[in-house]
Structure 1
Amino acid sequence: MSFMSLPPEILSHICEDLEPQEWGALRITCHQIHSSTLEAYATRYFRVLPLLLTREGLDDLEDVAASETLRGWVREIRIIPNLFEGWPEYDKGRFKEPGLSHRKMQRMFRKIRGEKEESTSNNDEAELDALFDSYQAALEGHRAILDSELAVVLEKCLPRLKNVTTVCLRCYPFEFLIKANPRSFRCLGLREIKNRFNIDEMSGNIDFLGFKQNMLSMPLGLAFSQVVQGIIKSSHKVRALHTCGNMECGMNLGSIKLSESQYQSLLPLLTDLTTLHMCIRIKNDENDTFDESAFKHILNMLVTVAPKLKILTFAQWSPLEELSPLYFQDLSQNIQFSQLEELHLHSVELTVENLKRFLRTAAPTLRRLSMKNVSLTDAIIGARDPGPLTEERSSWGSSLSLDVIHKIQELWKQSFELLADSPKLQFVQLSSIGYRGREIILHDDLYLERGQLDAQPVSNAKHPVIRSEIYSDPTRGRSLNIAFSFNAETASISLKEWIMQLRMEMCNPAGRIVTRLPGTSGLSFNQEGVRSDSSTTLPPLGPGDPRPMTFVHMQQ
């Protein structure tokens, strides 16, 4: 049998082992192979279009949109708005100093290896000057795209890309982008950056460890504004919208440049929305102003699209201060889910009643639920305010009375009981829950008893997977807490049995790295006045104190 007579499915399978350039070369050998492999080729490389915001990236997107052969295959656009980890500001001196040190060290290693030295200090200076100029030019072009040009290109391209149903924002470290293997990660606009910069050169000049949420949230907010404007101007409806994506760092409210009329114009284009990832960062630092108007518009957007949503991720980072409980109260009172199957609540602070109300409207259809960095804010009579959360206060639980500790645990018990009675819930994951920003530790005895490697646990517990270059919470992967999950497909007990056997403990004594949950401003625990009784307050744990931790069984 000749190669060209093979069925299209086999041809496509063979092509999967080829490099992109090899596949492209094969496809232009004859019309038959070109047509036979088109579906597999387009599905692999054009169904999802990652887009780095560079000049070349925008040009490539326009080329795909103009191609009658390729544009019909595109289903999703993934916009990468971060270049150089959120554009840290460097003057020429600050940029060159680490680069000179890096090259000096490289020169020393070459000398040790006996290699011939070709570069001089003068050449180093000139090369770093040129590298800085290139860095500045790339940064200025990137900022211009985020300021206005992205919306113009989306307005032009989206009407042609009629099958695009998903628009996502994604963030990747610059080091990952420039090192990425084209076979495993293809991105429009990436070739321009790889041609302009070398990872060995840039690693000596830019601190890649600066990949933090507060640096990413500004370009995410600007990109979201441009995406919304592009959707409005093109009148393009989407079914999935992701405002933050893989980083869960949140778009900065102050960076969102949308008017009230633009928010109103967006809503009719979201009537078919079934998937929403809405991640908000209230402030980056203490000097930021809380943009209450933008926050309310975004919450109103969520309320409007809720009836048709099937998947929702909602996060509202507020690492510097507690939000008024009225915000989530209004949200939980107005939101109505009718088809929601999957819900992820991250970095949210709310009262038990608001949480129960929010979950109750989703309960009839909800099948999967995760809660991470969720902090309750109910007032407790008798709670002594320990003040702002610091590393030194990691033993804060030991300064509260046993009565207050039991009340905190009772609050979470009420929430867990609602989960236990959810009719269709098949999967639950809990990680880093707390009270007023202070962490509570969960214990799953069923996992501890049967969690050995050679046994099948009745519930699934694992440490959250934290990649070294990607952080998913403000602790930057330092939390020692465990994410406990229940999966009905593998568990030998019911969800209610699993929920009700969980035990809770206040945060470990000093020495444990505390997780930073939302609501860490130290606002009073007691909104009706402090009634602490010093006679019932336990003294802080000291070195060698034999007193055991406080454990409370969920069961009555």
Structure 2
Amino acid sequence: MSITSLPAELVSDICGYLGVPDWCARRLTCRFLFINLRDAFANRHFNSISVLVTSDGLGQLQELAAHDTLHSRVQELWIVPELFEGYCHVDYSIFKHYRFIRSAHNDQPPESPVVEAYYAAYKAAVADHLDLLHSDGLGDILTGCLKRFVNLTSIGIRYRPTSKRDGLTSLGSRRLRRQLGYHPVYPMQFHYVPRRLGSVHTLAFMALSKSLMAADRKVKKLTTCGSYYCGLEPTSLTLTPAQWGSLLTPVEKPAELHLCFNILQPPNADLEFIGDVLTVVAPKLAVLTFSLYDTKNRMKPCYFPEPSQGIHFTQLVELHLRKIEVTYDTLETFLLTAAPTLKVLTMVSLGLADLATSNPSFTSKVTEIWQKIRDFLRDRLSLRFLSIRNLFYAGNPMRVNDALRELSGTPDPHDRHLTVFDADRARVSFREWANQLGLEPRPDICPRPSSLSAPQPLPMPPEPHGCFRPPWRRRNNQENQASPGQRQ
């Protein structure tokens, strides 16, 4: 059977594994494919775009914005504000031993002239990147492009250049891979231990947000950082709370916000600012991801903004809390502001900061605080999905005991660090499931007596990519356009 006799939708699925160059080449082999796959090709490869802050990446973005038809296909735009995971000043003596260089040469050390050429390309890319990041040119380019992207709905910051598995077109990464000799199938990863990139992300986010306002664009989804949760630095932000609200769509079109802050200094002014931002955006949100931590890893309970500041969620359906240390009372008050509409709650690396006064009372104190949390989740909220991973109490890792995990709809009953209830998959009621939950110190990490007299620094958890998400949150490009009500 000839491929030309198949429906265009089926041919599009068959060609779905192809990258942009391969798909272009395939379309050029046949007039039928060229004409009938035009829309499928444009939607697949230009619906969601990520761009490196390099001259090449931004140049390609300008070309896309100037295209007569493709500019209207762009609905999501993600800026990758860092190169090489933040390692911009690596010496040649270290650079030549990086694994990505060996992988390009079958794990054999390449000749010195080859490595020197790679190193020269690395230094040139870094210089170009830093010049753009600290200049007004970045904002000017983004403003011009945003004016042309008339159907843009989502925008934000991503961590690290995308891979083919993301299904995104990454502008600027192909040339950079070629210049540095990356193996075609080797991930574009420069270092296994990324640096904290809050200042870099803040610079890029400020340029992006100012460009949004200059282009008079409002988005339905705004992301302040990628999966690594680098966090924006409040002291470096010049946006007012009202300007934060102006970036999002009106209240009639519920928005999604990923809000991640990195506390660098004593938090008094920072927290007032963060609370003011939440107060302004809360009525507009259907989905909120909120992360708050400090680089010195010594959070205090008072770092979490008090809902008494006037934070009121009127249509929030999903709430995702990441790397936050909070007292039970503040957590309860915060969740109550969203109780009438909240259906999905996930908590990753949540630290409960109530004091434990002495070693003998530690177990009883844990039991007491957990009973409060369990009863609150059961009686005051109407959740259809709950996920808890990496819970801490007074700085000590805890484990949730779930005897009904086989019936609760969890994706992996053997993962003892993940506790999930999914109403769509569960074979037990939420009340019955919640009643039997218990909390105890992780048996592999026993609390030290000296740590029980005061809250300890919240340990930095693993990367959040292991956090299970509800089935309706594992979405493709088409599902991105669904409303919160359609996801339930």
User: TM-score of the superposition, structure 1-length normalised?
Assistant: 0.70
Partner-residue secondary structure (3-state), 2:289 = strand
Measured in 2, the distance between the counterparts of 1:27 and 1:332 equals 59
8 Å CA contact 1:342–1:369 kept in 2: the answer is: yes
Q: Which letter does structure 1 place at the counterpart of 2:385?
A: F
Report how far residue 335 of structure 1 moved: 1.1
Within 5 Å, give how 1:229-248 maps onto structure 2. 229-247=210-228
| Counterpart position of 1:161 | 149
Deviations 1:18-75 (A, max 9, x none): 5533432454568765443222111100010121222111011111111121111111
Within the candidate set 267, 270, 283, 2:245 is matched to: 267
Partner-residue secondary structure (3-state), 1:159 = helix
Measured in 1, the distance between the counterparts of 2:209 and 2:428 equals 46
Structure with the larger RCO, 1 or 2 (CA within 8 Å, 6+ apart):
1
Report how far residue 5 of structure 1 moved: 7.5
Partner-residue secondary structure (3-state), 1:348 = strand
Measured in 2, the distance between the counterparts of 1:353 and 1:26 equals 60
| Counterpart position of 2:174 | 191
| Counterpart position of 1:445 | 403
Q: Which letter does structure 2 place at the counterpart of 1:42?
A: A
Partner-residue secondary structure (3-state), 2:217 = coil
| Counterpart position of 1:219 | 200
Measured in 1, the distance between the counterparts of 2:170 and 2:178 equals 14
| Counterpart position of 1:489 | 424
Measured in 2, the distance between the counterparts of 1:435 and 1:142 equals 42
Within the candidate set 423, 440, 456, 1:520 is matched to: 456
Within 5 Å, give how 1:18-33 maps onto structure 2. 20-28=20-28, 33=33
Report how far residue 185 of structure 1 moved: 5.5
| Counterpart position of 1:258 | 237
Say whether 1:316 aligns with 2:292. Answer: yes
| Counterpart position of 2:468 | none
Measured in 2, the distance between the counterparts of 1:418 and 1:99 equals 50
| Counterpart position of 1:136 | 123
Q: Report the count of equivalent residues.
A: 444
8 Å CA contact 2:389–2:417 kept in 1: the answer is: yes
8 Å CA contact 1:349–1:519 kept in 2: the answer is: no
Report how far residue 413 of structure 1 moved: 1.7
| Counterpart position of 1:91 | 91
8 Å CA contact 2:51–2:79 kept in 1: the answer is: yes
Measured in 2, the distance between the counterparts of 1:10 and 1:258 equals 48
Measured in 2, the distance between the counterparts of 1:298 and 1:244 equals 16
Report how far residue 495 of structure 1 moved: 1.1
Q: CA separation of 1:332/1:220 partners in 2, compared to 1, >3 Å: closer, same or farther?
A: farther
Within the candidate set 121, 124, 139, 1:151 is matched to: 139
Deviations 1:146-195 (A, max 9, x none): 223332211111011011110132223x7xx6xx5599553111122022
Q: Which letter does structure 2 place at the counterpart of 1:20?
A: V
Deviations 1:96-135 (A, max 9, x none): 5x379x88xx89979xxxxxxxx8xxx62x4444332221
Q: CA separation of 1:333/1:421 partners in 2, compared to 1, >3 Å: closer, same or farther?
A: farther
Within 5 Å, give how 1:469-488 maps onto structure 2. 482-488=417-423
Report how far residue 458 of structure 1 moved: 3.6
Partner-residue secondary structure (3-state), 1:191 = helix
8 Å CA contact 2:366–2:439 kept in 1: the answer is: no
User: TM-score of the superposition, structure 2-length normalised?
Assistant: 0.79
8 Å CA contact 1:75–1:164 kept in 2: the answer is: yes
Deviations 1:249-279 (A, max 9, x none): 232417x743255x54343232436101112
Measured in 1, the distance between the counterparts of 2:176 and 2:37 equals 30
Q: CA separation of 1:243/1:510 partners in 2, compared to 1, >3 Å: closer, same or farther?
A: closer
Within the candidate set 351, 354, 373, 1:375 is matched to: 351
Within 5 Å, give how 1:172-211 maps onto structure 2. 172=160, 180=163, 186-199=169-182, 208-211=191-194
Say whether 1:401 aligns with 2:336. Answer: no
Q: Which letter does structure 1 place at the counterpart of 2:435?
A: M
Partner-residue secondary structure (3-state), 2:333 = helix
Partner-residue secondary structure (3-state), 1:279 = strand
Q: Which letter does structure 2 place at the counterpart of 1:166?
A: S
Measured in 1, the distance between the counterparts of 2:108 and 2:177 equals 26
Measured in 1, the distance between the counterparts of 2:423 and 2:281 equals 29
| Counterpart position of 1:498 | 433
8 Å CA contact 2:258–2:288 kept in 1: the answer is: yes
Q: Which letter does structure 1 place at the counterpart of 2:418?
A: A
8 Å CA contact 1:333–1:358 kept in 2: the answer is: no
Report how far residue 336 of structure 1 moved: 0.5
Unaligned residue ranges in structure 1 (runs of 5+):
111-118, 284-288, 385-399, 452-456, 465-479, 523-556
Say whether 1:352 aligns with 2:332. Answer: no
* Cα-Cα RMSD: 3.6
Deviations 1:310-336 (A, max 9, x none): 111111123635445444253454211
Measured in 2, the distance between the counterparts of 1:166 and 1:342 equals 17
Q: Which letter does structure 2 place at the counterpart of 1:259?
A: T
Within 5 Å, give how 1:20-59 maps onto structure 2. 20-28=20-28, 33-59=33-59
| Counterpart position of 2:471 | none
| Counterpart position of 2:479 | none
8 Å CA contact 2:293–2:299 kept in 1: the answer is: no
Say whether 1:416 aligns with 2:394. Answer: no
Deviations 1:461-517 (A, max 9, x none): 7489xxxxxxxxxxxxxxx9511101112222221221121111124365799xx9x
Partner-residue secondary structure (3-state), 2:132 = helix
Partner-residue secondary structure (3-state), 1:446 = coil
Q: Which letter does structure 1 place at the counterpart of 2:139?
A: A
8 Å CA contact 2:344–2:385 kept in 1: the answer is: yes
Partner-residue secondary structure (3-state), 1:366 = coil
Q: CA separation of 1:145/1:291 partners in 2, compared to 1, >3 Å: closer, same or farther?
A: farther
| Counterpart position of 1:79 | 79
Measured in 2, the distance between the counterparts of 1:222 and 1:326 equals 27
Report how far residue 428 of structure 1 moved: 0.6
Measured in 2, the distance between the counterparts of 1:280 and 1:519 equals 21
Unaligned residue ranges in structure 2 (runs of 5+):
459-488
